[in-house]
Structures are given as structure tokens and as C-alpha cells.
Structure 1
């Protein structure tokens, strides 16, 4: 498999359609982050406004899809590490996207078919799809909450039914923190979640990165233009510096190899093709970083 190929496990589920009663409210005048990612994962759940944002992102940073696929591969590798290597059997993903092959529950079920995953989102379309396609009443469920409402995530009856907060939890914050502005105190919300979790819990976090302009001026310029595009058309999206991103791991012990370019975190060979083996081309690797912390 070429490293530039997008295999099935990176693509959105394509053949299933969800009928919700009542159907979720969909704002066609404004792009959605979940639908924007659906476009990059070759899914069907996106509209013209989402494709327009994708075009603008591509103009700002040619090959922007690399960032989406690279971040997803990082998530897949991190979940496999937590489940297969560390024995974690329960996960909470906040800011979940639309269901797709290779989602966290599928990776965790490789190690233990009984592993439990709670998907949290404040996007009605995402919730509708998760509840229709994934929630099985035993290992997967979905709750309406976001990173800015951590108490709602923890207090939800479904979370309580699936997650034992006295046991280690894998907290998955990939692709969400960058969309919470400083004014909404993302670090404080992460701390609230941290303080509710048992020792042995782990944080998986990835974030858009603004490289050092002195060392990498072209990458820093791309990040600045992307941030402007996202702010104007999506209303969110911060390309923070590495120092700013590292601050989100306050109170967590860094797990080797630490926070670094998402592509470099426990990289897998491209063959055999398994979730997490996607390798980003060099051009945009500095625009997305990730790491894992332990309590």
C-alpha cells in the first residue's frame, strides 16, 4: 500500500443511511467540523459549504487532507497502545466525529471485545449517526456533551452506565481542543476531567500546531493562513504553539516518546495495512502534534 493511499479503515461508512425521528437540525449555511472531516475521509456526509471550506484549507496548505488522516492515524495507534499494551478497557472520546471504520471502539475491541467506549458530541448530526449505527447497549454509546461541558459528560446516565470512574479510563481529545478558544478555558475543562479520573488513566491529545516562525517560516505562515480561514468560515480552529499545547498536559505524566509531530508518535510500517499505519507526507507534518499523558 502506498503511504499516500487512504484505505478502507480511514474512510467514512458509506452505505448506511440514518433516519432520525425527528431528524437532526442541519445548518447548511455554515460548515461543520464533522462533515468537513467526512469529506476528507471520502465519506458521504458533507455539503457544499463543507466542501468549500475544504477547498479553502487546501489552498492555504496544499495537501491539508494529510493533517486529517495523520491525526486519525495517531488516534488509532494511541488507542491500540492503551488497550493492547496497557490493558485499558474503557474510553471516553469527546468531540467525536461521524462514525467511520477504524473508530476507537473497533481498535479497542481488537484487544478486548468487551471494551467500552462513550462517544461525546454536541453536534446533533453526529449523535444521530452514532446512536443509529454504533450504540449497541453493551460496549458503545453516545452522549450529548462537549469539552466545554465536562460535568455533563461525567454526569450523563449513559456515561455512568458504561464507565467506572474508579478504574483507569482512556480520555481521547483528538481534534477537539484546537476548536475551543482560550476564552472558554480548555485547560480548565481538561483539568476538571483529569481530576475525576482514577490513577492509571491516560489522556490522548492532538492539536493543530503553529511551528516556530524563526525555524520554520513557511510552515508558520501556512498555519497562520489556516487559522484565519477556519476563523472566518468555521468560527473555530486555533494553531497553537508547542508550548501552548504542552500546557494542556499539566498534571499528566508524559508517556514516551512524549508530545511530538503526530506522524512520529509510535509510527507503524505501511504494510500490512492496519488502522494507524497511514504515514503523512513531509509537507504538513509540523502542522499537527500529539501526545499521551498518564495519571
Structure 2
């Protein structure tokens, strides 16, 4: 595969177009993390400024696309485990990206076609795409909001219609906490969400990781350089230490195999290729970790 190639089963179809009235505002002068991920997933929703950032990230950490694909595969495996093995059939994804094959509702529907998924985003472009392409009014919907508005997310009338907070919920926080500037505020928001969910609810969280420089000096340097690039170009994107990331799980009971490299979390065989079976090359595995907690 070329450096920007993703496996066929991870690619977006790219055949649908969304028209919003009025169209959501788009800042073409600044890169977007959702459009950057769209580029790495072979979608169509990205611009020159996003592709430029992708090139810079690749120069900083050769194989940066591995991190994007590895984090997405982790999410897919986690949702499948929650739906198929733990019987959770309602989900809230905070910080949803552009719609793509293998999104949580597709994974959950493998085991229960009636599973309900609420996608939340504070990006109006992402919200427009989800409302146009994903929402079916019965099992999937999208609501405005981000991690900094935990109460608003759960008490939005549309969320309230889809989610029964007296029953377990799968809270999906993959890729969003890495882009919060204030770790303490993010932890408070996660705690507020936890306190609003029923016993038996689970949280899936992944985060960019800054490895111990004493043990992994090259990986730590790449993490530092990527953080500098992202905060300069995006205004956010933080590679935190494992200790800092583990603090987000306070109040949650760890679910085996715990917080570890995203690639190592319930890894699937590469064949047959299914959502979640993508395996990261070794070069950047230290730079993304994930885990699951329950209440």
C-alpha cells in the first residue's frame, strides 16, 4: 500500500453528496481534524489545507495514517464487543467524524438491527452529513454538542427520544479527548456523563499517547513533534502520558484487557478482512492507546 492508502473495507463510498440549506460554514484557511480523518479514510470531504496537514504529519511521523486507522479499528472492535458480547444496544458517540463505512451503527446492527446510536458533534459540517446520510429516525440520529456540554448532550430532545438512560449505554469517546485543551475540564465532563448513565453502562476511550522518553525516546520525540504540529495547525491535538490518560477512567471499573496500545485491545485476525481487523504496523503503536470502563 502507498503511504496514504487504506484497506478497501475501510474506505468511504464517496458517492453521496449532501446539500444543506443554508450550507454550513466552512473555513478553508484552517485544517479540520474531521476532514483530515476523511482524507485518511479515502473519503471526499477534505480540502487542500487538510491534505497539506496530512503530508506534514506523515513527514513528522512516517505512517501517521496508521494511528487514524488503528484508532478506528479499536472503536469497531469495542462496539462489537459491547453489542455482541455484553448486550448493550444503545450508544452515544461524542465527537463523531464524517460518516464512513464501519461506523458504530453498522457494527451494532450486526448483532441487533434495532440497536440505537446517537452521533454528537459540534462541527456543523459533520452534523449536516450525519443528518442527511445516517439518520433514519428510528435507530440512528445526530445531535449538536461536544464533550464540554455533557448535560446538553443527554437532555437534547432527540437524544432523550433515542436513549433510555435507565438502561445501559455505550459511551464512545474515541478521538475526542485528545483534542480537548483542558484535561481537568474533560475529566469533569466524563464524570458528569458517567453520573447520568445507568449501572452496566460502558465507556470506550482512546487517546494519543506520549510514551515514556526514558524507555521510548524516538516515539516520545515523534509524539512531541506531532503535538506541536497539531496545536499549531489545528489549535488542538495533545499526546498525553498514559498516567494522564488513565485519569479519565476515574470512577469507572476497568474492563479487561485494560488500558493499553489500541492495537492490542482484543485484536482480530487480519483475514477475513472485517471492520476492526486492521492491524497497525509496529512503528506507531506506542502513539495511540485505548481502553474500556464500566459502571
TM-score normalised to structure 2 length:
0.97
Residue 137 of structure 1 is matched in structure 2 by 137
Contact 2:213 2:221 in 1 (8 A): yes
* Matched-pair contact (CA < 8 Å) for 1:12–1:98: no
Greater Cα shift, 132-141 or 48-57: 48-57
Instruction: Tell me the CA shift for residue 5 of structure 1.
Output: 7.0
Cα deviation for residue 97 of structure 1 reads 0.2
Following superposition, which runs of at least 4 residues in structure 1 exceed 4 angstroms of deviation? Answer: none
Q: Does 1:17 align with 2:6?
A: no
Equivalenced residue count is: 293
Alignment partner, residue 127 of structure 1: 127
2:209 corresponds in structure 1 to 209
Matches within 5 A, 1:1-295: 6-182=6-182, 185-295=185-295
Contact kept in structure 1, 2:121 and 2:127, CA below 8 Å: yes
What's the CA shift for 1:56? 1.1
| SS of alignment partner, residue 73 of structure 2 | helix
Deviation at 1:184, TM superposition (A): 6.4
Secondary structure, counterpart of 2:245 in structure 1: helix
- Extract unaligned runs of 5+ from structure 1: none
1:281 positional shift: 0.2
Q: Are 2:6 and 2:40, in contact at CA under 8 Å, matched by a contact in 1?
A: no
For residue 7 of structure 1, report the CA deviation from its aligned partner: 3.0
Quote the Cα distance in structure 1 between the aligned partners of 2:215 and 2:61: 18
Contact 2:175–2:207 (8 Å) recurs in 1: yes
Quote the offset at 1:262 in angstroms: 0.1
What does the per-residue CA deviation read over 1:227-258, in whole Å, with 9 as the maximum and x for residues that have no partner? 00001000000100000000000000000000
Deviations 1:250-291 (CA, angstroms, capped at 9, x unpaired): 000000000000000000000011100000000000000000
How far 1:11 moved relative to its partner? 1.5
- Unaligned stretches of 5+ in structure 2? none
Displacement of 1:6: 2.8
Q: Secondary structure at the match of 1:230?
A: helix
TM-score (norm 1): 0.97
Give 1:10 deviation, angstroms: 1.5
Q: Distance in 2 between matches of 1:133 and 1:62?
A: 33
Task: Return the offset for 1:206.
Answer: 0.2
Q: Using the alignment, how far apart are the partners of 1:102 and 1:249 within structure 2? A: 26
C-alpha separation in 2, matches of 1:6 and 1:202:
29
- Distance (whole Å) between structure 2 residues aligned to residue 264 and residue 37 of structure 1: 22
Q: How far apart in 1 are the matches of 2:85 and 2:17?
A: 35
- Give distance in 2, aligned partners of 1:42 and 1:248: 31
Residues in 2 aligned to 1:183 and 1:5: alpha-carbon distance in whole angstroms: 33
